[in-house]
């Protein structure tokens, strides 16, 4: 549709920017004391814009304006954000506290399996229509959006049949109520970490696909399988993260997954150094597998730790404050990222190693930063800063990360077939160290005959 970098950043910021309006959810629940009604009605209003987006190509036979698409998506995310706090508070009362990790990991796994299946099916349908009936490609996309809206409305109806435990939200002044979570020292520390983490993640993440399309020149034939690979990695690992989050602590899961995500962001800086397609695809495959697993654990743990630290009677207040504050940082990040990408468009940093000899002259690219890669490096630095804030958060029953990793390794040895991805994640540091030690020992052994010969 010809969107520029700023519009891409704005599109990426909408899901989190609209969380600022979650205060409306608290006001509605105070007025009507019905979390189910607030959730269902807002979800209905959120699905209608999808139907309208599907109608756009018929109203504008040429190119539909990007700004109109952004307007409809704004209302889609707005009503979804208003429904969020009421749904979270509702689920906190409905799902037993000791089962939060298992329940939400299972829920996430089912959603991701459906996502993978639908992505493959719809990609094949679009590809078939593009090749055989190119005049109907836009029509196919329109039908998909309209179907998404209709199925979403059906989902809202199903949600209306779920029971709601009785609850009561006091009539205290809203602003005073919102100050209470900020006075909670431990919850405030969680807010600082969560905000810093989302700012760092959203600085670069929205532009990964744009980088593959524009800079690497990859087609959707490569990008869709890579996305599915990341989702499959998430599906395989999320159940495992949920079990250990309930058994030990969510904070420990974050402490394991966050450094792995940092490695993924750093690895993006090295994608595209060489023009060889196979090497780039191999590196992208490793990045997508690792990021899928790390994001699954981090997102699950961040959701659960917020639910866990929020008092039962004030869950909606605490969670709304958390979502509103973090949304400011996570929505600003892609906007700043889009601006920085434009700034670095005409700037490059190359680190090259050269070998010069009588028969061979060779240069090797060690690092090439330009446009998006600069952005990824900035995101990595911000991720390091965010990780330093995690130890300040306190969670009841938390266990030291090294102990949990040792227990997870023991468990994985008996379930290696099912959890091979997590085994790689937990053991990559020790495996690298062992490999270097073996290499050093073999070199010493190879040098032994020369030493004896000299004697």
Task: Please say if the pLDDT value at position 68 is more than 80.
Answer: yes
pLDDT exceeds 60 at position 453: no
pLDDT at 441 over 80: no
* The pLDDT of residue 373 is above 60: yes
Q: What is the pLDDT of residue 66?
A: 80
Residue 153 has pLDDT above 80, yes or no: yes
pLDDT in tens, 12-35: 778 877 877 877 887 888 778 788
pLDDT the model gives residue 408: 56
pLDDT given for residue 148 in this prediction: 93
| Residues 174 and 30: beta-carbon distance below 8 Å | yes
In a domain, 314, yes or no: yes
Instruction: Note whether residue 352 is domain-resident.
Output: yes
Locus of tokens 């266990």: 399
Tokens of 204: 């670069």
Q: What mean pLDDT do residues 392-421 have? A: 60
For tokens 């929505």, name the residue. 331
Do the domain assignments include residue 252?
yes
Q: Identify the pLDDT of residue 416.
A: 46
Asked, for residue 263, whether it belongs to a domain, the answer is yes
pLDDT of residue 135: 83
Q: Which pLDDT belongs to residue 323?
A: 80
Confidence tier at 330 by pLDDT (50, 70, 90): confident
User: Is residue 409 included in any domain, yes or no?
Assistant: no
Q: What is the pLDDT of residue 439?
A: 58
pLDDT of residue 375: 82
pLDDT for position 51: 93
Q: Give the mean model confidence (pLDDT) for residues 45-56.
A: 91
How far are the Cα atoms of 249, 261, 407, 426 from residue 404, in angstroms, in the given order? Answer: 9, 19, 5, 10
pLDDT of amino acid 431: 55
DSSP state of 162: S
Q: Quick one: which of 132, 103, 75 has its CA closest to 243?
A: 103
Q: What angle do CA 168, 323, 399 make, to 5 degrees?
A: 90
Q: With respect to residue 413, please indicate whether it lies within any of the assigned structural domains.
A: no
* pLDDT number for residue 288: 92
| Cα dihedral 195/200/201/205 (nearest 10) | 140
CA angle at 421 for the pair 250 and 391, rounded to the nearest 5°: 25
- In the predicted model, what is the mean pLDDT of residues 411-440? 54
What is the rounded distance in angstroms from the CA atom of residue 445 to the CA atom of residue 450? 10
Residue 438 or 121, more confident: 121
- Top mean-pLDDT range of 159-168, 296-305, 446-455: 296-305
Instruction: Look at residue 366 in the predicted model and tell me its pLDDT.
Output: 62
pLDDT exceeds 60 at position 451: no
Domain containing 267 equals: 5-393
189-241 residue pLDDT tens:
999 999 999 999 888 887 888 888 877 888 777 888 888 888 888 888 887 88
Number of structural domains (the chain) is 1
Which comes out higher in pLDDT, residue 254 or 429? 254
Whether the predicted pLDDT of 145 surpasses 70: yes
| pLDDT-wise least confident of 380-389, 415-424, 432-441 | 415-424
Q: What percent of the chain has pLDDT over 70?
A: 79
Whether the pLDDT of residue 147 is over 90: the answer is yes
Q: How far apart are CA 181 and CA 62, in angstroms?
A: 50
Weakest-pLDDT range from 91-105, 232-246, 395-409? 395-409
Q: What is the pLDDT of residues 271-325, one digit of tens each?
A: 877 777 888 888 999 999 999 989 888 888 888 888 788 776 777 778 778 888 8
Work out the average pLDDT over 151-161. 93
**Comparing C-alpha atoms, which of 348, 10, 12 is closest to residue 209?**
12
Assigned domain for 445 exists: no
Confidence tier at 75 by pLDDT (50, 70, 90): very high
Least confident of 93-102, 302-311, 348-357: 348-357
Q: Determine the pLDDT at residue 247.
A: 76
Judged against a pLDDT cut of 80, whether residue 452 lies above it is answered with: no
pTM value? 0.66
Is residue 64 predicted with pLDDT exceeding 70?
Answer: no
48 to 41, 58, 259, 357: CA distances (angstroms): 11, 17, 40, 68
What CATH number is attached to the domain comprising 89?
A: 1.20.1250.20
Question: What does the mean pLDDT of the chain come to?
Answer: 79
In a domain, 158, yes or no: yes
Lowest-confidence region among 127-141, 152-166, 279-293: 127-141
What burial letters (b/e) apply to 418-443, b meaning 16+ CB within 10 Å? ebebbbebbeeeeeeeeeeeeeeeee
């Amino acid at each position: 549709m010809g969107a520029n970098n700023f519009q891409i950043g704005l599109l990426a910021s909408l899901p989190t920017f609209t969380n600022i309006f979650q205060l409306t959810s608290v006001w509605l629940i105070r007025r009507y004391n019905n979390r189910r009604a607030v959730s269902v009605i807002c979800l209905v209003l959120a699905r209608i814009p999808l139907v309208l987006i599907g109608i756009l190509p018929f109203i504008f036979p040429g190119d539909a304006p990007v700004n109109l698409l952004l307007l409809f998506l704004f209302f889609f995310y707005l009503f979804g954000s208003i429904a969020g706090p009421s749904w979270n508070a509702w689920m906190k009362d409905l799902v037993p506290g000791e089962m939060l990790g298992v329940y939400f990991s299972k829920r996430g796994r089912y959603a991701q399996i459906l996502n993978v299946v639908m992505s493959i099916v719809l990609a094949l349908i679009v590809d078939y229509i593009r090749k055989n009936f190119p005049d109907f490609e836009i029509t196919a996309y329109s039908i998909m959006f309209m179907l998404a809206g209709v199925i979403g409305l059906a989902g809202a109806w199903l949600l209306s049949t779920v029971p709601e435990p009785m609850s009561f939200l006091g009539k205290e002044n809203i602003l005073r109520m919102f100050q209470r979570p900020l006075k909670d020292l431990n919850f405030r520390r969680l807010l600082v970490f969560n905000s810093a983490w989302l700012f760092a993640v959203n600085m670069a993440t929205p532009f990964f696909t744009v980088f593959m399309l524009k800079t690497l020149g990859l087609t959707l034939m490569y990008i869709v399988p890579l996305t599915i690979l990341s989702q499959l990695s998430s599906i395989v690992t999320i159940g495992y993260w949920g079990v250990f989050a309930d058994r030990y602590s969510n904070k420990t899961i974050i402490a394991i997954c966050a450094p792995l995500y940092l490695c993924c962001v750093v690895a993006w800086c090295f994608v595209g150094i060489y023009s060889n397609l196979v090497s780039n695809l191999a590196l992208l495959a490793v990045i997508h597998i690792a990021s899928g697993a790390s994001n699954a654990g981090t997102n699950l743990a961040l959701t659960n730790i917020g639910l866990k630290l929020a008092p039962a009677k004030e869950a909606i207040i605490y969670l709304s404050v958390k979502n509103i504050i973090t949304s400011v940082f996570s929505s600003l990040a892609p906007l700043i990222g889009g601006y920085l990408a434009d700034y670095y468009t005409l700037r490059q940093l190359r680190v090259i190693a050269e070998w010069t000899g009588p028969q061979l002259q060779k240069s090797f690219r060690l690092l090439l930063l330009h446009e998006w890669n600069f952005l990824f490096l900035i995101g990595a630095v911000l991720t390091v800063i965010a990780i330093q804030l995690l130890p300040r958060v306190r969670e009841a029953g938390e266990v030291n990360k090294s102990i949990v990793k040792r227990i997870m390794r023991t468990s994985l040895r008996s379930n290696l077939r099912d959890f091979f991805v997590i085994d790689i994640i937990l053991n990559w540091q020790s495996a690298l160290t062992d490999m270097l030690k073996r290499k050093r020992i073999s070199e010493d052994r190879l040098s032994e005959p020369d030493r004896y010969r000299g004697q």
